[in-house]
């Protein structure tokens, strides 16, 4: 920050001068969402990368603090920021730059909504297999920066595996490409990896290139209902088999279970505690075999099982996502698949004891679980989150506060891991500095994690 505290008006004026008045506004509400500041934030929505570069150069020149951002759908994350002068938003950079279906590679501007990209790709029977819960406005670049992932990471991996190139404007306004547009590339350092989950700390992302996958020709999903131990047993058996689940999600989401199971079973049905959804993106013959095997496993254990197909599968995942879009606090745990169900059980029990409404879900083979706390006061949530985190740590598991109200995030650090040592954090900070040379005005979006 420059010594003389700038106010928003001159910033807005200077930016309007540089990129046009229509692309600059001030936003008081956003200021409150992001940080404790009283002054409004100036929001710049450049229409092209050159304009974006001008914004950053001006900011570097004047010492303004800048936060890169997409549609702003995932801002309830990370540490609470020090005051921000300018938010540079990608929403006006929303074009397909290059799409070659035969190469199964697409390059889009970072502000393109994921929902729009999905339609573009579906026309060619292709998809970007990232199914994190998102609102329709959520942008490609925002999702990459936030490092989002969804249940189908079990088969397809995450952005880490799908993103093959980017364009970024550095803090000093210079443009760099990372990676490229070909699916294999080891020229130079794999800087693209750093961009995934970088939370805007490295630069303003203007363009992303992804590897694509064919849309599954056939959809078939097994839903198993039962006790935690049964779910875990099925997990172990499936993981030790050649079966190819595209997702294997365990959840105790009552609304989901109600919508897809209980409503059909009626009141006489078994008390459903856990739902295990095993999806399959293989061809019809393979899916039929997998379903048969999964149903045999379920029958062995006396679990209730159903199979849904086609559009119903989409509806199921949409309903699953819906729970995780409601406001609340979401804590993620990363643990060996063999530990996951017991961690989730423990967490659920804790939440229950504290009378905080909570849901858990986990992509079991990936070792990623989440608990969402949907009620409770700030103090209750903070206390519970710290307890949950401590339990995870006792088992050697890392945890990450993915989403939470500002009041919670100001107390609870973003990361906790028995493995994330000071040396790694120091390297992360050094990497960040390498990017910010000559600019260095991005707020530290990792502060909570880096310093705790």
Binding to other proteins (CB under 8 A) within 77-116 occurs at 100-105
Instruction: Tell whether residue 175 is a contact of other proteins (CB under 8 A).
Output: yes
Instruction: Tell whether residue 431 is a contact of other proteins (CB under 8 A).
Output: yes
- Give the range of 38-46, 129-137, 278-286, 349-357 binding other proteins by CB under 8 A: 278-286
CA-based R_g, the chain, Å: 23
- Interface mask toward other proteins for 333-352; x: CB under 8 A: -xxxxx--------------
Task: Report the site for other proteins in 142-161 (rule: CB under 8 A).
Answer: 147, 149, 157-158, 160-161
Which of 233, 262, 415, 440 lies at the binding interface for other proteins (CB under 8 A)?
415
How far is residue 351 from each of residues 216, 271, 359, 362, 392, measured CA to CA in Å? 38, 20, 9, 16, 14
Q: State how beta strands 86-89 and 41-44 pair.
A: parallel
Give the DSSP letter string of 369-399: EEEEE-SS-HHHHHHHHHHHHHHHHHTT-EE
Give the nearest distance from C-beta 156 to other proteins in angstroms: 10
- By beta-carbon proximity to other proteins, the closer residue of 351 and 368 is 368
Instruction: Tell whether residue 447 is a contact of other proteins (CB under 8 A).
Output: no
Which of 10, 421, 451, 452 lies at the binding interface for other proteins (CB under 8 A)?
421
Instruction: Tell whether residue 420 is a contact of other proteins (CB under 8 A).
Output: yes
- Extract the tokens encoding 216: 């599954």
> Please, are residues 287 and 221 in contact by the beta-carbon 8 Å criterion?
no
C-alpha to C-alpha distance for 340 and 390, rounded to whole angstroms: 15
Instruction: Tell whether residue 395 is a contact of other proteins (CB under 8 A).
Output: no
> Please, are residues 443 and 63 in contact by the beta-carbon 8 Å criterion?
no
- Interface mask toward other proteins for 225-254; x: CB under 8 A: -----------x--xxxxxx----------
- By beta-carbon proximity to other proteins, the closer residue of 120 and 215 is 215
Say if residue 186 is exposed, middle or buried (CB neighbours under 10 Å; 0-12, 13-18, 19+): exposed
- By beta-carbon proximity to other proteins, the closer residue of 79 and 376 is 79
C-alpha to C-alpha distance for 319 and 429, rounded to whole angstroms: 39
Which of 115, 263, 394, 437 lies at the binding interface for other proteins (CB under 8 A)?
437
Instruction: Tell whether residue 197 is a contact of other proteins (CB under 8 A).
Output: yes
Q: Name which of 330, 343, 342 is nearest 370 in CA terms.
A: 330
C-alpha to C-alpha distance for 133 and 169, rounded to whole angstroms: 28
Instruction: Tell whether residue 34 is a contact of other proteins (CB under 8 A).
Output: no
Task: Report the site for other proteins in 349-378 (rule: CB under 8 A).
Answer: 365-368
CA dihedral 66, 70, 75, 78 (to 10 degrees): -60
How far is residue 415 from each of residues 372, 424, 446, measured CA to CA in Å? 16, 13, 9
C-alpha to C-alpha distance for 123 and 137, rounded to whole angstroms: 20
Query: Could you identify the residue written with the tokens 């095997």?
Result: 293
- By beta-carbon proximity to other proteins, the closer residue of 271 and 430 is 430
- Give the range of 68-76, 248-256, 282-290, 323-331 binding other proteins by CB under 8 A: 282-290
C-alpha to C-alpha distance for 90 and 139, rounded to whole angstroms: 8
- By beta-carbon proximity to other proteins, the closer residue of 109 and 290 is 290
- By beta-carbon proximity to other proteins, the closer residue of 284 and 315 is 284
Which of 9, 22, 122, 217 lies at the binding interface for other proteins (CB under 8 A)?
217
Give the nearest distance from C-beta 430 to other proteins in angstroms: 4
Instruction: Tell whether residue 261 is a contact of other proteins (CB under 8 A).
Output: no
Task: Report the site for other proteins in 296-325 (rule: CB under 8 A).
Answer: none
Q: How far is CA 122 from the centre of its chain?
A: 22
Instruction: Tell whether residue 446 is a contact of other proteins (CB under 8 A).
Output: yes
C-alpha to C-alpha distance for 46 and 54, rounded to whole angstroms: 9
Instruction: Tell whether residue 402 is a contact of other proteins (CB under 8 A).
Output: no
Instruction: Tell whether residue 451 is a contact of other proteins (CB under 8 A).
Output: no
């Amino acid at each position: 920050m420059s010594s003389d505290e700038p106010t928003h008006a001159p910033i807005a004026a200077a930016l309007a001068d540089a990129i046009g008045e229509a692309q600059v506004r001030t936003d008081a509400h956003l200021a409150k969402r992001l940080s404790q500041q009283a002054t409004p934030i100036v929001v710049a929505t450049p229409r092209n990368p050159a304009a974006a570069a001008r914004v950053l150069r001006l900011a570097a020149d004047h010492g303004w603090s800048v936060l890169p951002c997409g549609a702003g759908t995932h801002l309830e994350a990370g540490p609470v920021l020090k005051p921000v002068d300018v938010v540079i938003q990608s929403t006006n950079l929303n074009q397909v730059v290059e799409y070659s279906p035969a190469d199964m590679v697409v390059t889009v501007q970072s502000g393109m909504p994921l929902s729009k990209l999905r339609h573009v790709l579906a026309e060619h029977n292709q998809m970007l297999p990232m199914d994190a819960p998102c609102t329709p406005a959520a942008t490609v670049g925002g999702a990459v920066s936030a490092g989002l992932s969804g249940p189908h990471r079990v088969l397809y991996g995450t952005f880490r595996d799908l993103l093959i190139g980017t364009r970024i404007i550095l803090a000093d306004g210079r443009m760099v490409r990372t990676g490229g547009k070909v699916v294999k590339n080891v020229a130079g350092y794999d800087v693209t990896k750093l961009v995934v989950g970088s939370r805007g700390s490295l630069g303003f992302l203007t363009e992303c290139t992804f590897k694509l996958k064919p849309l599954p020709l056939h959809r078939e999903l097994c839903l198993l209902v039962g006790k935690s131990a049964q779910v875990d047993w099925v997990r172990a058996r499936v993981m030790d088999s050649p079966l190819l689940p595209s997702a294997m999600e365990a959840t105790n989401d009552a609304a989901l279970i109600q919508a897809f199971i209980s409503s059909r079973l009626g009141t006489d049905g078994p008390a459903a505690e856990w739902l295990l959804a095993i999806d399959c993106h293989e061809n019809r013959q393979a899916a039929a075999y997998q379903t048969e095997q999964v149903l045999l496993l379920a029958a062995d254990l006396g679990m209730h099982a159903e199979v849904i197909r086609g559009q119903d599968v989409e509806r199921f995942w949409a309903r699953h996502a819906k729970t995780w879009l409601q406001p609340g606090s979401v804590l993620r745990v990363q643990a060996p698949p063999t530990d996951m169900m017991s961690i989730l059980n423990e967490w659920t029990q804790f939440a229950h004891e504290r009378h905080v409404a909570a849901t858990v879900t986990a992509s079991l083979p990936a070792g990623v679980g989440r608990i969402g706390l949907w009620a409770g006061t700030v103090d209750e949530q903070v206390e519970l989150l710290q307890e949950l985190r401590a339990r995870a740590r006792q088992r050697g598991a890392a945890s990450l506060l993915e989403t939470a109200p500002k009041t919670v995030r100001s107390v609870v650090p973003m990361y906790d891991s028995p493995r994330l040592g000071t040396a790694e954090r120091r390297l992360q900070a050094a990497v960040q500095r390498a990017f910010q040379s000559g600019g260095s005005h991005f707020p530290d979006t990792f502060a909570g994690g880096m310093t705790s």
